[in-house]
Structure 1
Amino acid sequence: MEIVAGLNEKFGAWGGILAAFAIKVLGAIAVYIVGRWMISFVIRMVTNALTRQKVDPTVLRYVGNVVGVVLNIVLVVAILGYFGFETTSLAALIAAAGVAIGMAWSGLLSNFAAGAFMIVLRPFKVGDYVLAGTVEGTVEAVGLFATTILTPDNVQTIVGNGKVFGDTIKNYSTNAYRRVDRTAQLAHSVDTADAVARLKAALAKIPNVMTAPAPDVEIIDFTTYGPVLAVRPYCHTDHYWQVYFDTNRTIRETFGAAAYPVPETHTVMRHPA
């Protein structure tokens, strides 16, 4: 205050006003620096506390983001209050702006709400292999507005939480194993029982195919070429594609080794007498 009074005497009223404003600016900068440090400290404390409770990484990231956003808003309001703004009016202004922004950004808010529901209901977690929002792959993160999925062809794909939660979700990691569905076409002349026996024996030799439940090989359909076999081995999700491609190769090699005829159709045309 003595500095401001001295500047008032030397430079007049404007000098005192500028000095007071400069002091407030320096104070606001100090408040911002301390506030940001405290926000980081609080986020670390919350994260460490949840980590000690062995909370899922998905929840950790989501809670950390929410705490960071809320505390940053509080910091901005505190700085404005320090400058003399009426925070009650500011709160009303923020609420009105929130309504306007909500109408303009309804999609983002729906993504935010969907993300909150996913954290509570837990249809999947980080590391799960899922089909969500028409995207299939491994979940890398569930954010405030979007879910990050790494697809099998190594492409990072970001899907809005609203699309994920509003569509069908398949979580392939929930159960201990899954089924590989393939089919094998036989010719009419092939002994079906022999083909089934050969395939079951061959499927059991494929790496990572489970013995319980045992692979299913049964007639599933009939076409003009002949019977169609359903070939269904079981495996852990991590080995799905390896077993999928090995099953295709096994069908081809088994039928080739048995010298089964190629399925084909014959058309007979008769002329009227």
Structure 2
Amino acid sequence: MSSSPKNAMLAEHRNIPYVAAGVTNPLQEFDLYVPERRNTLDTRPPPLICFVHGGAWRSEDKAEHAGLARRLAAHTNFPVAVSNYRLTTASTPIRHPAHAEDLLAFLHFLLTWSGPHTSTPTPPYDPTRLYLIGHSCSAHMLTSIFLQPLDPASDSASRSPTPSRSPSPPPSPVPTPDSLIPSPALLAATRAVIMSEGIYDIDGLLVTYPAYKTWFIAPTFGRLRSYAPWNTASYRSRPGAEHLNWLILHSKGIPW
């Protein structure tokens, strides 16, 4: 973990691992941007904003969003955490739900982390007040965590998909697996989920952009005729998450 004051108003703590001690993977780390408190009369720790990057499950890095994190911290006066997660690449051909499992591990870590300073073993934020922002594929990851699929017994869309004839590794587990269930503490701590240009209905996406199947959908989910089980737009709220506020931001020019 590295730490440095970017300026007098913002402290930056980079490359904080959120997985088990002794395990080093830069794709399982996050950066934290902590603004100087303006209201010294308010002794309560501030909420935490968490930004998760997009990149089609295959690209981008937390460092690319440092400018956004600094602006968010300056505008809100809240700390901002920006996380990485493992990516699907030729050398690391991981499948869904591995990316979302990393995101869930990051969020659970934030609930009990003692903070970046050993001299003051408390985080510079209130772990019971989290505001989450996901862009593109990370919006799908967030909905895979905070929503749950319909009962497969009563919803034909959630039945096992049929692989295409093209040779391919087995598809992702169907539907969202138990490894993506958030703890009651995380559900209670999360106050709002903000999603920008998210991917929700993969089949709908491929109708408009069929080339995306080879580019990043098949490597992430498997080469299938239908991706209905991962259409998170059809999911329902998890028990304990009814209080969540959802904000969906989407361009009218991109029918995802």
Q: Compute the TM-score of the two structures, normalised by the length of structure 2.
A: 0.25
Q: Which has the higher contact order (CA 8 A, sep 6+)?
A: 2
**Structure number with bigger Rg:** 1
Q: TM-score, normalised by structure 1?
A: 0.23
Compare the two structures and name the one with the higher helix fraction: 1
